Each structure stands twice: as structure tokens, then as C-alpha cells.
Chain A
Amino acid sequence: KQEVTQIPAALSVPEGENLVLNCSFTDSAIYNLQWFRQDPGKGLTSLLLIQSSQREQTSGRLNASLDKSSGRSTLYIAASQPGDSATYLCAVQGGSEKLVFGKGMKLTVNP
């Protein structure tokens, strides 16, 4: 059974720092890996999707990498801003149609 882990569960940093968010998964036979953002009281917003054949994806200040063999992905946030404060979730899609989610990491960026 696929398990997805995000450590730490919460992180508080000053504005301007470059951040690395970690995600690990137990079964390397994945179809893709997705990073989402969730603001309080809202649904999930897709940030980046990395296909199993890809090593990384970039969108603006965000860069996500994938190492299937080690079961790891990282989300890099450059020059963090207070508006980046949210919960970030990692999810993997394996051989079925289903996404398996990590429990998320709550990020607070302090001005």
C-alpha cells in the first residue's frame, strides 16, 4: 500500500527565505506526483504535476523535483513571501486512478 509522508508537519520562517518542502513515498511505481496548496477554508489548488518520466517542473518561484528510485520529491520555494503561507500537500498517483495524499505541511511566512 502506497504511503506518502511529509515532514515536518509545520514550518515557520521569516520572509525572503528559500524553502525546501519534502515528500517521500514508499512505492516507486508511480504514474505522477502532484503538489497542491490549500488555503484555510478552501479547496486544494494544483501547483505542479511531475510525470514519472520527468525529473522536475517549474512554475514561477516554485520548482518541484522527483527522484523515483529513492521515493522522494522536493518543492522549492524561492524568496518566500507572506502570501505563500498555506498548507502544502503532496500526492502520488500509482497504478490505479487514485491519488494518495500526504498529510500536508503548514507553512507560515512571517513579514
Chain B
Amino acid sequence: NAGVTQTPKFQVLKTGQSMTLQCAQDMNHNSMYWYRQDPGMGLRLIYYSASEGTTDKGEVPNGYNVSRLNKREFSLRLESAAPSQTSVYFCASSKDSYSNQPQHFGDGTRLSIL
């Protein structure tokens, strides 16, 4: 049982380039989330999807777009990368938003933008 799988694990981009971070879960969870983790800032929610077909903004959505491709997959896209988007990105999933079940996290994507 793989849980939450994120690809790639590491990526270096130049300012202005675009890329998509992929996330897939095999736990039949309805809700999925994208966070970024920065030193001194903690984990901050970028976007989330409460269920297939819905997406909503979190605390720091500017510069990002998301797609809930199906129940399993939730991708995060940087259209024009900026150095301020250098961070560790985590995808998470949970059974439902209000199920009182914990969120399960992937191992993260470490993204550097030069």
C-alpha cells in the first residue's frame, strides 16, 4: 500500500519556467490537499479538493493552479516559476473533510527556482 505518492522528488527550475507537480493516492480518499513548507513559516495550505470535481483556494494560492484529475490524482501547476516559490511541497489526502480521520502525507517535492 503506497499511500500518497508525489513526483518528482527534486526539481530545479529557472525563473519563468513552468512545471506540474503530481500527486496520487491509493486509499480511496475523497479529499486532497497541497501544502508548502518553508523555514520559519510552517506548513501553509495552497489549494485543496474536498471531493472529486471541486477545488478551493487555501492560504497562499497566488501563482499556482490545481487540477483534480480524478479521485486518485491531484496536480499542482506553477505557470511561471518565481524564486519565492522555492519550497518543499507536500500533497496530502484524507477520507473526507469532516470524517475525523487524519490526513496522510506524501514525502514531498523539493523545488528550487533560480
Contacts and interface: CB of A to CB of B under 8 A. Distances in A.
Interface string B37-58: 0001111110010100000101
Contacts, number: 54
A102 B56 CA distance: 22
B45 A98 contact: yes
B4 interface: yes
A51 B106 CA distance: 24
Given A97-B50, A97-B98, A98-B58, A46 B45 contact: no
A101 B59 CA distance: 12
Interface of A, secondary structure class, is: strand
The number of chain B residues touching the other chain, given as a range, is: 20 to 34
Nearest to A46: B102
Contacts of B79: none
Given A32-B100, A34-B102, A34-B103, A43 B108 contact: yes
A76 interface: no
A91 B33 CA distance: 14
B21 to A, nearest CB: 14
Contact of B100 (A31, A89, A104): A31
B90 A43 contact: yes
B43 A101 contact: yes
Contacts of A99: 33, 45, 103
Contacts of B103: 34, 44, 46, 99
A45 interface: yes
B42 A102 contact: yes
29 contacts: A31-B98, A31-B100, A34-B102, A36-B105, A41-B107, A42-B108, A43-B105, A43-B107, A44-B90, A44-B103, A44-B105, A45-B105, A46-B102, A46-B103, A49-B100, A49-B101, A51-B100, A89-B43, A91-B43, A97-B98, A98-B45, A98-B48, A98-B58, A98-B59, A99-B33, A99-B103, A102-B42, A103-B40, A104-B42
Interface of A: 31-32, 34, 36, 41-46, 49, 51, 89, 91, 97-99, 101-104
